Amino acid sequence: MKDQSRESTRTRRQHQRAFKDELIAQSLVPGASVAGIAMKGGINANLLFKWRREHVRAMAASAPTAATLLPVCVIAESASPPTVQPTVRVATGINRSSPLGVIEIEIAGAQLRLRGGVDETALSTVLRALRQSA
């Protein structure tokens, strides 16, 4: 019979924070192969996926809850009316007594143009998604 009181000689490897951060950063690049990065780093891909999940959770938890101010450039509309009027669907939660206008936002290489009444909740969701994709 084996002596079950003997402690295992196997121990978990402890990875340096800088090593983890470097692999996480490499794996978050669009189009990167997590399995390939893990293999080059000498670790299991599942471990790298775990580190990524923990990193994303930590970033979400530390994200500011207050509104983030973005630079805005106001451009007057041209004198000629547009040839095609976009359709505007009215969403719930819009203050219909507020004047209608146009909001143009350029963020992360994308241009967002809002006409008519704007649902603040939907706008903040779109801006958050654009900021995270940058």
Provide the pLDDT for residue 85.
45
pLDDT tens, position by position, 91-127:
445 455 555 677 777 766 677 777 777 777 877 777 7
**What is the torsional sign of CA 38, 42, 47, 51?**
negative
Residue ranges, the chain, pLDDT below 50: 1, 84-92, 94
Task: Name the residue range of residue 34's domain.
Answer: 17-62
CB-count burial class (<10 Å; 0-12, 13-18, 19+) for 38: buried
Provide the pLDDT for residue 84.
46
Per DSSP, the three-state class of 76 is coil
Q: Is residue 47 in a domain? A: yes
Per DSSP, the three-state class of 60 is helix
Shared domain for 32 and 75, answered yes or no, is no
Q: Is residue 7 in a domain? A: no
- Count how many domains the chain has: 2
Shared domain for 43 and 71, answered yes or no, is no
Provide the pLDDT for residue 106.
75
Shared domain for 88 and 76, answered yes or no, is yes
Provide the pLDDT for residue 41.
94
What's the pTM?
Answer: 0.42
Q: Is residue 2 in a domain? A: no
Provide the pLDDT for residue 74.
79
Q: Is residue 5 in a domain? A: no
Q: Is residue 56 in a domain? A: yes
Shared domain for 72 and 127, answered yes or no, is yes
